[in-house]
Amino acid sequence: MKDKKIIYILVALLAGAALGALAGYSLGQKNARSEAEVAFKKQSDVWKDQWMQRADYNPDMAKEPLLSIGGTVAEVGSDYVIINAPQVIDTPFDEATPAQRKVMVNDETAVSLVEALPTEKADALMSEYQEKVRAYDDQMARGKNPVPVTQPEIEKKTPIKLSDIHAGDTAYAASADNLRYAAEFSATTLSIRRAAPASPAPPTTPAAPAVPER
């Protein structure tokens, strides 16, 4: 009987020690979590102070409308495309923009494939434009009032259907509404760009046959 009492006492002591260790662990975890939260808040406050001291600081920066977004097409539906768009945090005071946007396409949406013009043609247009700019500056210097010069289009836009868009294409969507935090919106324009196809590898010249030794 005495041995059983000793066993009961040992079991009780072990259980008490285990409960004490568990409580200590939980308290330690709670304290570590609190310390991490305090450290994060301090760092966040420092970041905010640094932003407010910047010469170009604008407290309304995150309130400015965002009318277009770009990203990679992840999915194409019957009347929409889903775009993976880079998240943007303009200041430490505003929340991040959605990482994925659902762009609704209707009959009024202008959908087009944008391709760069051939290099020779684009260079010729830009050269002509630069000459017009120099002439414009010369006229202005003489006190005249020349006609403003318009920059040429060095890209070709071809209307396409929604079904012509593929996952992996780069898409730029625009809207009349503020898109900053819009996870879904109707687009007025949807422009698609694709990487230029890789040039084929040049043909390899077959190696000359080995000359046998004499």
Query: What is the predicted pLDDT for the residue at 102?
Result: 96
For residue 65, which phi and psi values (nearest 5 degrees)?
-65, 140
Q: 34 pLDDT band (50/70/90 cuts)?
A: confident
| Mean per-residue pLDDT over the chain, rounded | 78
Domain ranges of the chain: 1-57, 61-117+154-193
Query: What is the predicted pLDDT for the residue at 18?
Result: 57
At the top level of CATH, the class of 61-117+154-193 is mainly beta
pLDDT tens digits, one per residue of 101-142: 999 999 999 999 999 888 898 899 899 999 999 998 988 898
pLDDT at 153 over 60: yes
pLDDT tens digits, one per residue of 82-91: 999 987 666 6
- Going from the C-alpha of 163 to that of each of 11, 53, 79, 81, 112, the distances in angstroms are 73, 50, 9, 10, 12
Identify whether the C-beta of residue 81 lies closer than 8 Å to the C-beta of residue 75. yes
Query: What is the predicted pLDDT for the residue at 35?
Result: 75
Burial 112-125 (b: 16+ CB within 10 A, else e): ebeeeeeeeeeeee
Tokens for 102, please give them: 């659902």
Instruction: Return contacts of 43-50, CB within 8 angstroms, 24+ apart.
Output: 44/92, 47/92, 48/92, 48/93
Q: Helix or strand or coil: residue 114?
A: strand
Three-state secondary structure readout of 158-189: EECCHHHCCCCCEEEEECCCCCCCCCEEECCE
Identify whether the C-beta of residue 122 lies closer than 8 Å to the C-beta of residue 154. yes
Identify whether the C-beta of residue 72 lies closer than 8 Å to the C-beta of residue 169. yes
Tokens for 36, please give them: 């991490």
Residue reference for tokens 């087009």 = 112
